Homo-oligomer: A and B are copies of this chain.
Amino acid sequence: MADPKARLEQMLSKLRDHKFRITPQRLAILKILASSDGHPSVDTIFEKVKRDFPTTSLATVYKTIALLTELNEVLQLGFPEGSNRYDGNKPYPHPHMICMRCKKIVDPDLIGLEGLTDEVSRKTGYRILAHRLDFFGLCPECQKEENPQ
């Protein structure tokens, strides 16, 4: 994970640059996004914010995340079976490894992805602006659980 303090400062600057207000609720949400590793869901964020700032409403969490996504400071990961997850550390496209059993999401370092983007652009004539790459499988821990003996 990148340095959480630096990420937080980055996000705050972006808000200030665009003349958005820094409210205590927003600050609490930014802190969580800047320092969370696990691609949290809105609910996870909501629960954590309430510890810092108990009166925060779900709607505010949604609004803040939408704002940050708009400003390219948060990456939104949607899934068909349930709620979105958010990445406040690397707000740009990158691959994910998703464990189908424990739902853990980690970021692998992958070379060779850029080559793919070039290839697809060349072959289809599309101008590529973003991508999404997810691998679904079983993490090492869950592989042991699946085959105990």
Contact = CB atoms under 8 A, between A and B. Distances in A.
Interface stretch (A9-17, A30-38, A44-52, A77-85): A77-85
A96 to B, nearest CB: 9
12 contacts: A78-B81, A95-B120, A99-B126, A110-B119, A120-B135, A126-B135, A126-B138, A126-B139, A126-B140, A129-B138, A131-B135, A132-B133
Nearest to A125: B140
Interface of A: 76-81, 84, 95, 97, 99-100, 106, 108-113, 115-117, 119-121, 123-140, 143
Nearest to A129: B137
Contact of A112 (B78, B81, B115): B115
Given A131-B133, A133-B133, A136-B131, A120 B126 contact: no
